[in-house]
Amino acid sequence: MWLLLLIFAITLGVRLFFAFNTPDFTGDSAYFNLRQIEHITEHGVPQFDDPLSYGGRYYIFPPMFHYILAFFNLFLPISIVCKVIPNIFASLLIFVAYLIAYKMTEKYTSANFTAAISGFIPIFMGFTINSISVYSLLIPLAFLTVYCFMKLPQKKYLYLFIALAFILPLIHASALLIASGLVIYLLFLKLEELNMKRIEIEAILFLLFVMLWVDFLIFKKAFLFNGPGIIWHNIPQQLLNIGAIKWFILDVMSKVGYIPLVYGIFSIYEHIFKVKNRNIYLLISFAFSTFCLILFKLISLELGLLFLGVIMTLLFSKGFLDYFEWLGKLKWPKIRPAFVIFFFISFLINSFVPSVAFARADVTETPSIDIIEALEWAKENTFEGSTILASIDNGHLISTIAKRKNVIDSNFLLVDETTKRLEDVEIIYTSKLETEAQRHLDEYNIGYIFLSQKEKEIFNIESIGYTSDSRCFKKVFEQNNVTIFRARCSLKVK
């Protein structure tokens, strides 16, 4: 227990060290979450009716994570809450990983080692350190559900399982991944001709219906508005394609961790073709379900890799055990320490080092001080109620820091024609014709254009061509790499 607490303290310490390296947060959606938490603290409810996003729209999202953080915000400052609490949640994965690994191997060493690795899964570190990410709570709870499922029919785990079945869809819509994984698990049992325990069928049926129902309750409006598009979160076609391009095996290996991934794949092979083990099948089912969902773009690549990373780490607990059993059988016991040292060094190189690298990268990806200063300037010096155009990656920043309307951000549900909107934004930034751009500026009632390094990189531009020589665009802010233009003309007949 003390060892586990020490691992937890180290993991949390490393996380907090990186998180407090910067006063800002990483990623546009962090600022969306920040705004929702602030709104709940002030008004008691999330801001579903948002006058700033997309120039005014209605949001749908499961709000439990925001409520939990808002609760802590009642007695702690928001910056501390958003830095510390998600990292505590994420570090709790260690305990869940320990429990699952112990259940599978019944060896403390293996369970402790798995717990240590789970604290340093590169992608999990990268996405949950400084992003106020809902995944920091979703992932530990999702795997706690898996653990409860393994422990059925013990009553206390049953009650926890029932509670989690209701809680998970209130945290994130992708909790349905758990249900789909469990359904695949049943198919696996059938294929392997293992008997299906009644309690397992009951639990799966229950979980499936609860999650479907809660998701339908929350996303009812989105189902009616976006129809089947909701399955892909109404993400514009262009962004769905980018997700596919990024799918490189080396990328996956570095994000998940080389050793867990390689051993995880080996373990899947071994248990499908040689050894039958229910608990391993359960994890393999989740891996398979996640893989399919990524393949069909039903969940984001990041979330899929987060799940895969944890699953592979858990499968690795068995590998750890096998490895040390193999060491015990070595003919030359003297070389055993060398293998042990080699094992730990390779873990350090392949899991710990990439995790630290991801954590560092995550922290450095916070919006630059130039962007923050420009947006704070915009808050003071632009017309209240005006719309500022920025790329999709800066959308939530516009509404959170500058408190102005944005044209597009990363929350696409209940938005009409997202693909067209994204195209139009690109046209405004890249067009050579002023009238063409002006038509779209009129369409979205845009008063200001925000141009930072991010927009330059996304649209591959150095400047906005038509603004240089035009009376219709006035440079109202310019500092380092950020420029804000005011659009002064309109094609509309007044």
The CA dihedral of 248, 362, 233, 250, to the nearest 10 degrees, is 10
Provide the minimum distance between the beta carbon of 214 and another protein in the complex, in angstroms, as a whole number: 9
Point out which residues pair with 406 in neighbouring strands: 388
Which CB, 350 or 418, lies closer to another protein? 418
Phi, psi of 487, rounded to the nearest 5 degrees? -85, 120
Nearer to another protein, 6 or 491 (CB): 491
Cβ proximity to another protein, 325 vs 416, nearer residue: 416
Q: According to CB under 8 A, which one of 43, 220, 276, 420 is a site residue for another protein?
A: 220
DSSP bridge partners of 95: none
The CA-CA-CA angle for residues 414, 63, 44, to 5°, reads 110
Distance of CA 465 to the CA centre of its chain: 36
Single residue of 213, 269, 326, 344 touching another protein by CB under 8 A: 213
Residue with tokens 């080389």, as numbered in its chain: 258
| DSSP-assigned letters across all residues of 11-31 | HHHHHHHHHTT-SS-SSHHHH
**Can residue 171 be called a binding residue for another protein (CB under 8 A)?**
no
Kindly state the number of chain residues that form the binding site for another protein, as judged by CB under 8 A.
Answer: 25
Q: For another protein, which is the closer residue by CB, 162 or 272?
A: 162
Q: Which of 123, 203, 284, 308 binds another protein (CB under 8 A)?
A: 203
How near is the Cβ of 271 to another protein at its closest, in Å? Answer: 25
Candidates 27-35, 216-224, 426-434, 465-473 — which segment interacts with another protein by CB under 8 A? 216-224
Contact between 205 and another protein per CB under 8 A: yes
CB of 399 closer than 8 Å to CB of 52: yes
We find the least distance from the C-beta atom of residue 384 to another protein, in angstroms, to be: 21
Closest CA to 203 of 282, 274, 266: 282
Rule CB under 8 A: choose which of 3, 9, 45, 201 binds another protein: 201
Of residues 416 through 455, those in contact with another protein by CB under 8 A are 416
Q: 492, 453, 494, 450: which is closest to 475 by C-alpha? A: 450
Residue 227 found at the interface with another protein (CB under 8 A): yes
Nearer to another protein, 199 or 275 (CB): 199
Give dist(CA 65, CA 71) in Å, integer.
10
**Eight-state DSSP code of residue 51:** S
Report the residue number, 203 or 413, with the smaller CB distance to another protein.
Answer: 203
Site string for another protein, 378-417 (x = CB under 8 A): --------------------------------------x-
Least distance from another protein to the Cβ atom of residue 423, Å: 17
> ∠ at Cα 99 (95, 104), nearest 5°?
145
In the chain, the amino acid numbered 327 is: L
Question: Shortest Cβ distance from residue 213 to another protein (Å)?
Answer: 5
Residue 202 contacts another protein per CB under 8 A: yes
Q: How far apart are CA 8 and CA 336, in angstroms?
A: 29
Site for another protein in 297-316 (CB under 8 A): none
**In contact, 395 and 425? CB cutoff 8 Å:** no
Q: Does 158 bind another protein (CB under 8 A)?
A: yes
Sole binder of another protein in the list 108, 216, 342, 344 (CB under 8 A) = 216
E-strand stretches of 152-206: none
Q: How far apart are CA 40 and CA 36, in angstroms?
A: 6
C-beta of 209: minimal distance to another protein in Å?
4
User: Which of 92, 38, 25, 88 is CA-nearest to residue 66?
Assistant: 38
Among 3, 9, 199, 244, binds another protein (CB under 8 A): 199
Pairing of β 49-50 and β 57-58: antiparallel
- Contact characters 122-151, another protein, x per CB under 8 A: ------------------------------
Q: Which two tokens stand for residue 292?
A: 């399919």
Q: Is 164 in the site for another protein (CB under 8 A)?
A: no
Among 209, 326, 342, 383, binds another protein (CB under 8 A): 209
Identity of the residue numbered 248: F
User: Is position 192 an interface residue for another protein (rule: CB under 8 A)?
Assistant: no
- Residue 191 binds another protein, judged by CB under 8 A: no
Question: Would you give the end-to-end CA distance of the chain in angstroms?
Answer: 73
Cα 367 to Cα 169, 197, 243, 370: the distances in Å are 30, 51, 22, 8
Q: Could you tell me the smallest distance in angstroms from the CB atom of residue 402 to another protein?
A: 24
Residues forming contacts to another protein in the complex (CB under 8 A) are 153, 158, 162, 198-199, 201-203, 205-206, 208-210, 212-213, 216-217, 220, 223-224, 227-228, 416, 492-493
